Chain A
């Protein structure tokens, strides 16, 4: 665990020392601000429902840009050799890196605090719904970070890792939209795959253990796959 903590600190330092984290935060807040203003102004409703759903989609495109360098760059620069010849278990290395992008997401979500604050000050939003919506978005961040990290383990090229991450996540967003055009028997499968469907309960203020489990499984699966890829790279 101590080495995972060391990796986490190093990752955050490298992340915030490069322009990438700042570009990511600015882009996200710019879009977030737009969705918030537009959502509240067009519906007149003191709710973050639309904003958070849109931000989930923005994350699909932005988060892989943060995670793309995490392993691809270590592979390219040869620094993975340092990490893997140090007494750092592979699991701790992966956890540290994943936790770093989760921390970045926490910072990001903390920076969107003015949105609910404005709603509370000038309206009467359902506070429970606000809390569960944020929780859903955080679970989304964890899941996307894991998938992005997995994409990053597949290539030495950051761009390939970044685009790969987006391509990996897109089907999980589009799956719900395909309902109605696919055979009926396929619909429940697609509904299950779509993270939009699993976010719905959070946006309604419901904490559904099924949905929480889905996000936890999604995250664990991709962290496990990352571990397998790194392990198989050593054996290749």
Chain B
């Protein structure tokens, strides 16, 4: 769906996006994560053809963004950070206009506008002026316009910012639903949102991709925050040094007599179990404490800066 190689954007002397490679395929929700000013919006703008890249190439929905931008634009639904609305128009007028410029067949336009309005929970709001809508409803209209041409790829730039808790739940449920049948790229810096919504994560900082994959994969790759709790019923005195000698283990702390915190890179659990078995100690429990996304985020972003 998205294949980018060496995507770079320079504004005067500032490098906003620096040699970004992306490979996103199949249905699902992909989280595009990074601190403010990391280059998320600029990357999205390049993928949607709004901004030309300084260097590199991007193939979106099978078409080169630079060579055939109109082909790409016809297949991508995009919700910018601020929903692009005309306050003078009603919800219905606006969505019909977007359907028209996005190339929805005239015969299908009315039905399609009705469908997306139902889908995002705007049923009955057709004749309301956009200027009179609350922030949550503006966001819904923004989502509806991104969906109206039934795109293969949805790019959403912070779609949940400024929503109240009830609206948040609604919009998140909708995004999950949408992700079942199409690719949704979701930019955000709300970490719990990524944990609940996204199958995959692309972490970006200072314009560069600093990590990508599933949340667990990322945690394993950095070893950040995740640790193994080793509980022994009888522990020989040399247990800490034996554990520390295992390949991949980075630190061992004794939490209480017979209970150790083992940190390491990758999956060290099998090797720890083997080592304990070999030492003659009896293992009571081996518990894996996975890192939260926040810890992974801080480890990767912190490492970069």
Partner-contacting stretch, out of A7-15, A33-41, A157-165, A200-208: A7-15
Contact with A along B18-61 (1 / 0, CB 8 A): 00000000000000000000000000010011111000000000
Question: What are the residues of chain B within 8 A of A79 when measuring CB–CB?
Answer: 84-86
Question: What are the residues of chain A within 8 A of B168 when measuring CB–CB?
Answer: none
Are B98 and A82 touching (Cβ within 8 A)?
yes
Are A87 and B103 touching (Cβ within 8 A)?
yes
Are B101 and A234 touching (Cβ within 8 A)?
no
* Total chain B interface residues with beta-carbon distance under 8 A: 28
* Total chain A interface residues with beta-carbon distance under 8 A: 26
Are A236 and B102 touching (Cβ within 8 A)?
no
Are A78 and B101 touching (Cβ within 8 A)?
no
B127 to chain A, nearest CB (A): 13
Task: Tell me which of B45, B88, B145 has the highest count of chain A C-beta atoms within 10 A of its own C-beta.
Answer: B88
> A43 within 8 Å of B by Cβ?
no
Q: Which of B85, B88, B103 has a CB less than 8 Å from the CB of A17?
A: B88
Are B103 and A81 touching (Cβ within 8 A)?
no
Are A86 and B52 touching (Cβ within 8 A)?
no
Question: What are the residues of chain B within 8 A of A117 when measuring CB–CB?
Answer: none
Task: Tell me which of B11, B74, B78, B97 has the highest count of chain A C-beta atoms within 10 A of its own C-beta.
Answer: B97
- Nearest opposing residue in chain A for B106, CB measure: A2
Question: What are the residues of chain A within 8 A of B86 when measuring CB–CB?
Answer: 10, 14, 77, 79
Main secondary structure of the interface of A (DSSP, over half): helix
Are B73 and A83 touching (Cβ within 8 A)?
no
> A88 within 8 Å of B by Cβ?
yes
> A122 within 8 Å of B by Cβ?
no
> B133 within 8 Å of A by Cβ?
no
Report the bound CA distance from A218 to B189 in whole Å.
Answer: 49
Contact with A along B56-92 (1 / 0, CB 8 A): 0000000000000011011010101010111011000
Contact with A along B278-298 (1 / 0, CB 8 A): 000000000000000000000
> A27 within 8 Å of B by Cβ?
no
17 more contacts with CB within 8 A, not counting A9-B97, A17-B88, A87-B71, are A6-B101, A10-B86, A10-B89, A13-B89, A14-B86, A18-B88, A79-B85, A81-B80, A81-B84, A85-B49, A85-B50, A85-B78, A87-B73, A87-B74, A88-B101, A235-B52, A236-B11
| 5 residue pairs, one from A and one from B, having the closest CB atoms | A82-B84, A6-B100, A79-B84, A87-B74, A87-B73
Chain B residues within CB distance 8 Å of chain A: 11, 45, 48-52, 70-71, 73-74, 76, 78, 80, 82, 84-86, 88-89, 93, 97-98, 100-103, 145
